[in-house]
């Protein structure tokens, strides 16, 4: 059987790796992935053949994984977080859709979900994603900025909580400042904002700030930003977004007093 597992390994810490991902890693002989993510697997990557590729080489990495699996090697293609959220799964399907190699048709593919970085970051601070939210990548490498700009504007008008992935990189930080300007058209400057660095990894840092004070300078490629909506509250060390239960609290109070 030619098997390719596309594994979302979670935000970093192995404690967040799912048992299914654990079992798939145990079953494979070859690992394809970015060096950082293979290293994060620690002892689970030992005894496997490592095929490391660099950032920006996603198409080559996916083709390599398909070739390995097609040649009979049980292979895992490693993605951080969830492989289907700005991860490697879509790259494999884009290649398959092009029908480039007939032997790829014999590869049995299984996509194994992982905890996305936004979920881990949200859990650290409370429940900011508790109501309708959307996720937008600020990277304009593959999506034109006009499209991203429109999505931010629409999400902002719709009062969605917004998570920004790829908010800043070594080469670009202006997108986050421009996003802040768009958001300020529809949101108060006091809106809670969470900045999460290296969540569940060594060097993890979390900062709770406001939309008005959002500063892209300390951010890097290993950080994401959660922008609250009009129902997001910062209470002590917690941030949560209301789902409207406050309208039912009188019911709890009256039940208690009976």
Ligand X SMILES: C[S@@+](CC[C@H](N)C(=O)[O-])C[C@H]1O[C@@H](n2cnc3c(N)ncnc32)[C@H](O)[C@@H]1O
Among 2, 75, 223, 241, binds ligand X (CB under 6 A): 223
Binding flags for ligand X, 13-52, as an x/- string (CB under 6 A): ----------------------------------------
How far apart (Å, rounded) are the C-alpha atoms in residues 214 and 224?
12
Q: How far apart are CA 21 and CA 80, in angstroms?
A: 12
Stretch that binds ligand X, among 18-26, 38-46, 124-132, 164-172 (CB under 6 A): 164-172
The runs of H, that is alpha helices, within the chain are 19-27, 35-40, 58-70, 89-97, 117-125, 145-157, 174-184, 249-257
State the Cα–Cα distance between residues 33 and 38, nearest whole angstrom: 6
Q: Are 59 and 91 in contact (CB under 8 A)?
A: yes
Choose, by CB under 6 A, the member of 147, 221, 251, 252 that binds ligand X: 221
Instruction: For residue 165, state whether it binds ligand X (rule: CB under 6 A).
Output: yes
Q: Cβ of residue 256: shortest distance to ligand X, in angstroms?
A: 40
Instruction: Find the binder of ligand X among 5, 7, 9, 11 (CB under 6 A).
Output: 11
Q: How crowded is residue 204: how many other Cβ atoms within 10 Å of its Cβ?
A: 17
> Is 224 a binder of ligand X (CB under 6 A)?
yes
Q: Is 87 in the site for ligand X (CB under 6 A)?
A: yes
* CB of residue 225 to ligand X, shortest distance in Å: 8
How far apart CA 67 and CA 77 sit, in angstroms, is: 11
| Strand ranges in 91-227 using DSSP code E only, listed in sequence order | 107-112, 126-127, 133-137, 161-165, 192-197, 205-210, 223-227
Residue 228 binds ligand X, judged by CB under 6 A: no
Min dist CB 240 to ligand X, Å, is 20
Calculate the CA 236 to chain-centre distance. 26
Min CB(255)–ligand X separation in Å: 40
Interface positions with ligand X (CB under 6 A): 11-12, 79-82, 85-87, 116-117, 165-167, 196-201, 221-224
């Amino acid at each position: 059987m030619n098997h390719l597992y596309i594994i979302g390994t979670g935000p970093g810490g192995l404690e967040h790796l799912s048992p299914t991902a654990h079992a798939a890693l145990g079953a494979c002989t070859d690992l394809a992935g970015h060096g950082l993510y293979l290293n994060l697997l620690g002892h689970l990557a030992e005894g496997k053949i490592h095929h490391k590729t660099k950032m920006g080489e996603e198409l080559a990495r996916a083709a390599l994984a398909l070739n390995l699996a097609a040649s009979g090697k049980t292979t895992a293609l490693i993605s951080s977080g969830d492989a289907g959220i700005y991860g490697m799964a879509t790259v494999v399907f884009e290649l398959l859709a092009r029908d480039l190699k007939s032997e790829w048709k014999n590869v049995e593919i299984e996509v194994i979900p992982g905890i996305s970085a936004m979920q881990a970051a949200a859990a650290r601070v409370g429940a900011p994603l508790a109501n309708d939210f959307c996720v937008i990548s600020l990277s304009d490498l593959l999506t034109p900025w006009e499209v991203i700009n429109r999505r931010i504007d629409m999400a902002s008008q719709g009062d969605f909580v917004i998570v920004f992935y790829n908010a800043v990189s070594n080469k670009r930080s202006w997108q986050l400042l421009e996003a802040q300007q768009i958001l300020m058209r529809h949101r108060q400057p006091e809106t809670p904002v969470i900045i999460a660095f290296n969540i569940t990894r060594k060097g993890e840092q979390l900062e709770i700030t406001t939309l008005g004070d959002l500063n892209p300078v300390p951010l890097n490629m290993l950080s994401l930003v959660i922008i609250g909506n009009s129902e997001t509250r910062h209470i002590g060390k917690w941030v949560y977004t209301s789902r409207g239960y406050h309208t039912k609290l009188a019911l709890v109070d009256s039940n208690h007093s009976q």
